[in-house]
Structure 1
Amino acid sequence: MKQEVLSRIQKSFPLVERPFRSIAEDLGMKEEDVLAILQEEKSKNIIRQTSAIFDTKRLGYVSSLVAFKIDEADIDEAVSIINSHPGISHNYERNHEFNIWFTIAVAPDSKLGLEKSVEILASLTKAKSHIILPTLKLFKISVKLDTTGKDEKKEKVKKVKHTEIEMTPLHHAIIRRVQYDIDIVSEPFKKIIDELDIDYDTFFSILKQLQNAGVMRRFASILNHRKAGFGANAMVVWDVDQEKGEAAGEQAAAFSAVSHCYLRPKYENWPYNLFTMIHGKTKEETNAVIEEIANEIDARSYMPLYSSREFKKVRIEYFTPEFEAWENLHVKEEG
């Protein structure tokens, strides 16, 4: 039942007072058995984090994927410099002359803005070249690893219409707390309830509001890909005609093995505009999915970029003073 439990917490985490009892009831298990399984998987670092997953843009942050071309001898120092920015959530070395790939976000009140922040990082790391690849169109963002081997090859990607929301201090207070990893205990939200001196109904009502408004994408567990057995994770980039980009993105996003799918800009030195993250247990498995997608979408060419090293993979901490501190330091340096 372990694989069923791991599958469930990635896909549909119950936002109730005792979520693990709810999962246990659905799977015909005891709550203590579900807790024991998850506590063990957490201790093995197979479960990376269980928390709210927020939409950076809906929170007012500006973000982008960025690629740097760094000399091999400078990579370690460059990575340390890049990772010092509080808006860096992912940072990988990939098999291309653009070898360092990271995602960066800057806060709504950023003095520098995203492009200037990237320019500073490029200068500090001695990057020979860099490209900024913001999202032009999002088709899918949902990491759900098939731990049971029972998932369908394709899935329907839902298009959700978001409601408007007026954010109050309580909304922000809840966001600041639910962005962090919960404890695997019977009542994992009790600490937040007690700290904010609110009841469960108020707490879950606000989480529902945040989700309906698209501010919170979902509440779920994210697994450590490699430790969960998914060692062949490729960012596959595709060169598609602009007018065919939306159709190609929708087709690629329908594959269950695709966790992320975006349209991004092209440049003279970068002809690829459709980006897909594909997860498999082996390169053969991942390559088979890539081939299926290639047979289905209309692309001039494509290239799988496998990650050779993972330097950082965390959730951005929203509404914290670290963003301002980093900018103040580098504004002084620029001056």
Structure 2
Amino acid sequence: METEDRKLLTLVQKEFPLVPRPYALLGESLGLSEEEVLARLVRLTREGILRQIGAIFNPGALGYRTTLVAFAVPEALREEAARIINQHPGVSHNYLRDHRFNFWFTLAVPPGKDLEEEVKDLARRSSAEDYLLLPIKRVFRIAVIFDLEEGQTGDGNFTYSGTIQNPDPRTVKLVRATQEPLPLIPRPFREVAHRAEVSEEELLAWIEEMLRRGVMRRFAGLVRHHRAGFRENVMVAWRIPETRVEEIGRALAREPGITHCYERVSYPRWPYNLYTMIHAPRRVEDRLREISRRYALSDFLALRTLREYKKIRLKLFLEGNGENSAGSAPPREDRPN
């Protein structure tokens, strides 16, 4: 990948300009013309390196409940289970991992839906013999910003100052419009504003407000880590004594290569309470050993991906899926993942 491409991809992940002509401003930062920035982003999208540029929301701030789920599905029924799980509109990531609990997926349900009942129903239809519901208790780090020049850096904006319990039609329309890929044209926000039936100025002001309140975590570019050079990753479930969770959570969140670090619900039969995603260009096992030695952590599971069944952006307030489109649902219940 060319140096200019690396710089551009890093910049759109970290500091995407919220101005009428964002690509021109990016070009000024990099010594490139607006036309060259757009041409590079179009090519990087076509090559599958850049997934999209757009809004990344905190689902919990908009009334959603989310969780990580693990299913234990018999091998003979795996393909049918994958099909059933993937069909759920609230499933954005679904992986086969090397454990008895072999299916690991994220699930989000909109206001008015019962998260536990949705999981129960999916387990029944997927022929899962057992399952774990693993909602987030605390976030130490949530970000997938791949610094293509120096390593990786985090995002940090996870907390939100309040919730929009019953989003009005305008909010729903703006969420739907801004979560879609930002057009690669000179005045992209004008087109998005037209879809949302607001002015360009109103749209940019709304994005700024959502970022300030933490309802929107970032407005940024997302890259596919495999194609950007970070080819290896592993999810690690750690068993940490309660007295050390904060210390270890904060320490692991600062470690290069760790893009996610969460404290999750644990159970007597599943005592793992801290989860991390570790990404590396190569030899991720070496990185895991180094981290475990540094903090004297010996009780953990490295859950390697055997197959990626689904990986998409979570879309909120989808039409045609029974999700509320304008203030028709009761207040939200809670947070996580």
Partner of 1:100: 103
Task: State the TM-score, normalized to the length of structure 2.
Answer: 0.88
Distance 1:24 1:176 in 2: 28
- Aligned letter for 2:315? E
Alignment partners' CA distance in 2, 1:13 and 1:232: 27
List aligned pairs for 1:1-335, cutoff 5 A.
1-110=4-113, 113-148=114-149, 150-151=150-151, 158=156, 162-164=160-162, 168-282=168-282, 284=283, 286-324=284-322
Identity of aligned residues (%): 36
SS at match of 1:93: strand
Residue type matched to 2:302 in 1?
A: P
Task: Check 1:243–1:67 CA distance in 2 against 1; reply closer, same or farther (3 A cut).
Answer: same
2:53 counterpart letter in structure 1: T
- Partner AA of 2:60 in structure 1: K
What is the Cα deviation at residue 174 of structure 1?
1.1
Contact 2:85 2:91 in 1 (8 A): yes
**1:246 CA drift (Å):** 1.4
* Residues 298/200 of structure 1: CA separation in 2 closer, same or farther (3 Å cut): farther
**Structure 1 residue 5: Cα displacement:** 0.7
Q: Aligned AA for 1:130?
A: Y
What is the rounded CA distance, in whole Å, between the counterparts of 1:3 and 1:190 in structure 2? 27
State the distance in 2 between where 1:157 and 1:298 align: 27
Aligned residues of 2:143 and 2:154 also touching (Cα < 8 A): no
CA distance in 2, matches of 1:158, 1:15: 19
In structure 1, what residue type is equivalent to 2:187?
A: E
Q: CA RMSD in A?
A: 2.0
5+ residue gaps in structure 2? Answer: 324-337
Segments of structure 1 that go 5 or more residues without pairing to the other structure are 326-335
When residues 59 and 227 of structure 1 are mapped into structure 2, their CA distance, relative to the original with a 3 A threshold, is: same
SS in 1 for 2:309: strand
Measured in 2, the distance between the counterparts of 1:225 and 1:234 equals 13
Q: Is the 8 A contact 2:13 2:220 kept in 1?
A: yes
| TM-score between the two structures when normalised by the length of structure 1 | 0.89
Distance change >3 Å, CA 50–CA 263, structure 1 → 2? same
Residues 50/193 of structure 1: CA separation in 2 closer, same or farther (3 Å cut): same
Please say if residues 91 and 101 of structure 1, whose CA atoms lie closer than 8 Å, have aligned partners that are also in contact: yes
